[in-house]
Amino acid sequence: MLKCDKCGEEVHPSNDAVLVAMEAGTISMVGLLVYGSRHFLPTENCKGSPSRAQYIEGQPRDTRGFVYNEEDEQGWRDDAFARVQEKYPLVDQ
């Protein structure tokens, strides 16, 4: 597994912000090479990617100034994140 560029720990694909962003269509395959990996939802030791994770139910709004765009909500939550969960099911993690 790839390591998070923020915290340095391994990122399970089901919680990889870069893979979710690819599903959302905001970055390309090239982006995957450029960005590597980053936690999407926060973990014990990592803040993850709040600007994107805020669209997932139960996650806090990003407080760093990223505007919450309701038009983006379904794309991130129901489409991109859900698809990544399907592609990379959490088995024995």
Determine if 6 is a binding residue for Zn ion (CB under 5 A): yes
The answer to whether the CB of 77 falls within 8 A of the CB of 22 is: no
Site string for Zn ion, 21-60 (x = CB under 5 A): ------------------x------x--------------
The distance of closest approach from Cβ of residue 30 to Zn ion in the complex, given in angstroms and rounded to an integer, is: 22
Tell me if 19 contacts Zn ion by CB under 5 A: no
Residues sharing a CB contact under 8 Å with residue 93, sequence separation 6 or more, in sequence order: 12
Among residues 21 and 46, whose Cβ is nearest to Zn ion? 46
20 in contact with Zn ion (CB under 5 A): no
B/e letters for 63-78, b = 16+ CB within 10 Å, e = fewer, are eeeeeeeeebeebbbe
17 three-state secondary structure: helix
Q: Which is nearer to Zn ion, 39 or 52 (CB)?
A: 39
